[in-house]
Amino acid sequence: LFPVTFGRGVAHGLGRDLAARHGPPLVITQPEPWASLEADLGIEPAAVVMVESLERPYLEGLVATLPAGPILGIGGGSAMDAAKWLHWRRGVPLWQVPSLPSVNACFTHMVAVRDETGVHYSADAIPEMVFVDFDLMREAPAHLLRGGIGDVFTCHTARWDWEYAVARGHDPAWDDFAASESLRIVARLRELAPEIRERSDDGIEGLME
């Protein structure tokens, strides 16, 4: 469901390409990835926002005050989610450039909105494209890049939790294909472990897939 472009340097010049088709983008980002890509974006953005929070009032403040334009998210989970929120609330095109594989926010529809009662999942967002730039990913601290293993490995424990719940009459209903896929994914993760450790192109791509 999520179109993805993998490669070295695929985020370079992206702003120029987007501006030619849709006008200058609003960049929703974080300091470290923006420092890496700012000079190579190829255009002056309509605005640059360093995400401060995923609390609903903050997100709605961005919706109300930012200028018009397509959305370009660059960064980790907070940047991905804030960009998705703006896309969903405004109905404008969205592109995502994840800088970390330690969370799956660039591949999920919903936004983890915070309020005084905790985390609530809302929105429904699918980007025009997710650009996985191997060079940008390799700039992340090694432990954060490897952290994506934990997100994927939850497929292992979740399968057994699911089986336990279904046996006691809880939804969702058991699905043999989905259950077997979860084990296949974990086996693939084991095969990829040496490449992920080395932060190779194949390791990053396999982890994101």
Share of the chain above pLDDT 90, in %: 79
Residue for token pair 């939790």: 161
Residue 98: strand, helix, or coil: strand
Mean pLDDT, range 46-60, rounded to an integer: 96
CA dihedral 43, 47, 50, 55 (to 10 degrees): -140
Q: What's the half-sphere exposure (Cβ side, CA atoms, 13 Å) at 42?
A: 13
Q: Residue 7: left if φ>0, alpha if ψ -120 to 50, beta else—which one?
A: left
pLDDT above 80: residue 1:
no
199 vs 116, higher pLDDT: 199
Can you read off the two tokens belonging to residue 52?
A: 């401060």
pLDDT tens readout for residues 85-142? 999 999 999 999 999 887 889 999 999 999 888 899 999 999 999 999 999 999 999 9
pLDDT tens readout for residues 54-93? 999 999 999 999 999 999 999 999 999 999 999 999 999 9
Tell me, what's the pLDDT at 78? 95
Q: What's the half-sphere exposure (Cβ side, CA atoms, 13 Å) at 26?
A: 25
Q: Find out whether 161 and 121 touch, Cβ atoms under 8 Å.
A: no
- Burial of 45 from C-beta contacts in 10 A (0-12 / 13-18 / 19+): buried
Q: Which amino acid is at 126?
A: I
Q: Find out whether 63 and 113 touch, Cβ atoms under 8 Å.
A: no
Provide the whole-model pTM.
0.91
1 vs 201, higher pLDDT: 201
Distances (CA, A) of 157 to 83, 151, 174: 30, 11, 15
Residue 152: strand, helix, or coil: helix
The strands making up 4-7's β-sheet, listed across from edge to edge, are: 4-7, 129-133, 94-98, 71-75, 26-29, 47-50
Tell me, what's the pLDDT at 88? 97
Mean pLDDT, range 165-190, rounded to an integer: 94
Residue for token pair 């940008």: 136
Residue 201 confidence class, pLDDT cut points 50, 70, 90? very high
Which of 101, 99, 74 lies closest to 192 in space, CA to CA?
Answer: 101
Residue 179 confidence class, pLDDT cut points 50, 70, 90? very high
Q: Residue 192: left if φ>0, alpha if ψ -120 to 50, beta else—which one?
A: alpha
Residue 118: strand, helix, or coil: strand
